Amino acid sequence: MPKKKKNQQTLILNFKTAYDLMKERETIKRISTGTPIDELIGGGIEEGEVAEFFGEYGSGKTQIAKTLATIVAGEQKQQVVFADCEETFKPERIVQIAKNRGLDPELTLKNIHVLIPPTTNELVSITEKLPEGVTPKLLIIDGLTTLFRVEYIGRETLAERQGHLRKFLYALKRWAKQTKTVVVVTNQVYADASASPFMPLEYKELAVGGHSLWHCLDNRIFVRKAQGGTRIAKLVDSSLYPPAERPFKITEKGVEAVPKLVEAENSTEEKAEGEPHGG
Ligand code: ADP
Ligand code: MG
């Protein structure tokens, strides 16, 4: 009889019942975005999850990121790592958001560890090179694709760029699950020339990185400007929740809900029931 190879003898596959998975999921915590965006995703972003906010320049992605950072650092008193790939991080804004939310600004600032990665190599190794004692509850990558776009120029580099980006997101997702960290990435959009003019905006304005990155992301939220200084956050792609949108505004508190009346005027579609459906 042929001898079994060693790895065939020792390989034990890690099956779990769906019931066990459900029990495990009941212990998962969420972090609130401090905005009505929470209502789209079951109350907040789950630990171990990678969420993407995408939208055009000035739509409010960084403001969402800074509000989240302030809430986690100042209210939950947990560490945050903020990779500032677009070099737009201003601590003064954190102080403003913290003060207006009744949080201790100094404590908030001390809990946020900011890194400006000079190249994609530094960015992709971020989780391996965290300073001693830094175990973040929240990792933000503001401008996920910015450095990739700087380093990979021209159509001929597209495949290589996508590969590098995809590998990074996969590793990030695995790390998030293992360490129970919430990962939030923000991303720019480009106009899809092949899209029909009748398609919804979130399909005409594709997030950089395209389809190949989508399956690494648990929730994808499109952010855009609306009337009267209001903005809309729309959940467009989720493994658990239906598409739906909520308005928000940018204020001295960071991002927050808009009064109900304005909300009704700006709504373009039915609201979600708040319950997930299969996907
Ligand atoms: P992006 O999607 O490009 O990251 P931002 O998140 O930086 O966009 O959002 C920029 C918007 O936030 C600007 O329209 C600006 O007016 C608004 N904004 C920035 N700081 C404040 C503030 N302190 N109070 C109110 N609005 C602000
Ligand atoms: Mg920004």
Q: How far apart are CA 263 and CA 267, in angstroms?
A: 6
Centre of ligand 1 from the C-alpha of residue 174, in Å:
31
- The residue whose two tokens read 């809430």 is 71
Long-range CB contacts (< 8 A, 24+ apart) of 267-273? 268/232, 269/244, 269/245, 270/244, 271/244, 271/246, 272/39, 272/40, 272/235, 272/241, 272/242, 272/243, 272/244, 273/242
Nearest ligand, measured from the Cα of 59: 1
pLDDT at residue 114 tops 70: yes
pLDDT at 268: 52
- With 0-12 / 13-18 / 19 or more C-beta atoms within 10 angstroms meaning exposed / middle / buried, residue 15 is exposed
pLDDT band at 19 (very low <50, low <70, confident <90, very high): very high
Among the ranges given (15-19, 58-62, 272-276), the one the predictor scored with the smallest mean pLDDT: 272-276
pLDDT at 216: 82
The DSSP bridge pattern shows strands 45-46 and 30-31 to be antiparallel
For the Cβ of 108 lying below 6 angstroms from any atom of ligand 1, the answer is: no
Q: How far apart are CA 139 and CA 50, in angstroms?
A: 9
Average pLDDT (77-97) is: 97
pLDDT: which is higher, 45 or 1: 45
Residue whose CB lies within 8 A of the most ligand 1 atoms, among 250, 251, 255, 256, for a mutation test:
250
For the Cβ of 62 lying below 6 angstroms from any atom of ligand 1, the answer is: yes
- Model confidence, pTM: 0.87
Q: How far apart are CA 88 and CA 82, in angstroms?
A: 11
Residue whose CB lies within 8 A of the most ligand 1 atoms, among 33, 57, 63, for a mutation test:
63
For domain 31-277, the CATH superfamily is P-loop containing nucleotide triphosphate hydrolases (3.40.50.300)
The CA angle 205-209-37, to the nearest 5 degrees, is 60
Q: Which pair of structure tokens corresponds to residue 35? A: 């905005």
Contact assessment for residue 278 and residue 253, using Cβ atoms and an 8 Å cutoff: no
pLDDT at 145: 92
